[in-house]
Amino acid sequence: MKKIPKPAFTTEFREHAVKRVSAGEANSVVAKELGLSDQSLRNWIKAAAAGKLVGAGSKVVTPEAMELARLRVEVARLKRENEIIKKQRRTLREMFCEVRLD
């Protein structure tokens, strides 16, 4: 199984997501609108509360790189879904047998 690329998000993007949750929006709504997993958003909220959302070791990510990473993750997800559909088709074909009446 191939490793799914991990998306990279800018510090500004993370701060924006955390601010929306702080303003009273639900975690799941914000995560869905921004294309994140709920767990990532929860991790960012915890990091922001601890003052570690913007760490010295974090690399600078351009918006283009962020978009590219997001698209790579989406392509990987769609490929997995496609493989599942192909497997289901194959098993459905094998279930049917030919009946001949002579």
Q: What is the pLDDT of residues 72-98, one digit of tens each?
A: 989 999 999 988 888 776 665 566 656
Confidence of residue 5 (pLDDT cuts 50, 70, 90): low
CA distance 9 to 86: 33
Burial 70-102 (b: 16+ CB within 10 A, else e): beeeeeeeeeeeeeeeeeeeeeeeeeeeeeeee
Whether residue 16 contacts residue 82, with contact meaning beta carbons closer than 8 Å, is answered with no
pTM: 0.50
Check if CATH label 1.10.10.10 holds for domain 11-95: yes
CA distance 59 to 102: 73
CA distance 73 to 67: 10
